[in-house]
Amino acid sequence: MQQTRRRIRRPLALAVAGALALATLATASATLPGPAPASAGPAPAAPGDAQLGPCRIATALGVQMSEGLPTAPGYVRSTGRVRALNLMIDFPDAEGEGTAMSRFREFFPKTSDWFRVSSYGRLTYQPETPLSEWLRMPMPFASYGIERGSPYEPGYRKLVEDIVKAADPEVDFSAYDLVNVLVTPNAGPSALDTVLSVTFSGNEDAPYADGVPLSNTSFVYSRQDDGSGSYDETGYRVLPHENGHVFGLPDLYTVDGGGTVGHWDIMSEDWGANNDLLGWHKWKLGWLDNDQVRCASTTGASEYVLTPLAVAGGPKLAFVPLSERSGYAVEVRTREGNDEAVCEPGVLVYRVESDVDTGHGPISVSDSDRESGGCTRRPNVHAELSDAPFRPGESFTDRANGIRISVVKEEGDGSFRVRVTRS
Domains observed in the chain: 76-247 (3.40.390), 279-422 (no CATH)
Query: Dihedral angle at the C-alpha atoms of 30, 34, 36, 40, nearest 10 degrees?
Result: -110
Strands 317-321 and 346-353: unpaired
The Cα 49–Cα 56 span in angstroms is 11
Beta strands in 163-299 (DSSP E): 178-183, 198-200, 208-209, 212-213, 217-220, 293-295
Q: pLDDT of the chain along its 423 residues, tens only?
A: 222 333 333 333 323 233 333 322 222 222 222 333 334 455 554 444 678 999 999 999 899 999 999 998 899 999 999 999 999 999 999 999 999 999 999 999 999 999 999 999 999 999 999 999 999 999 999 999 887 766 667 788 889 999 999 999 999 999 999 999 999 999 988 777 777 888 888 766 678 899 998 889 999 998 877 777 777 888 899 999 999 999 999 999 887 666 899 999 999 977 767 899 999 999 999 999 999 999 999 999 999 999 999 999 999 999 999 999 999 999 999 999 999 889 999 999 999 999 999 999 999 999 999 989 889 887 778 889 999 999 999 999 999 999 999 999 999 999 999 999 999
> pTM for the full model?
0.89
The Cα 173–Cα 307 span in angstroms is 41
Which conformational region is residue 388 in: left (phi greater than 0), alpha (psi within -120 to 50 degrees), or beta? alpha
The Cα 71–Cα 66 span in angstroms is 7
The sheet carrying 395-398 orders its strands as 300-306, 416-422, 403-410, 395-398
Query: Which amino acid is residue 74, in one-letter code?
Result: G
Closest CA to 160 of 39, 20, 33, 37: 20
Strands 217-220 and 293-295: unpaired
DSSP 71-108: PPTTSPP-SEEEEEEEEEEEBTTBPPSS-HHHHHHTTT
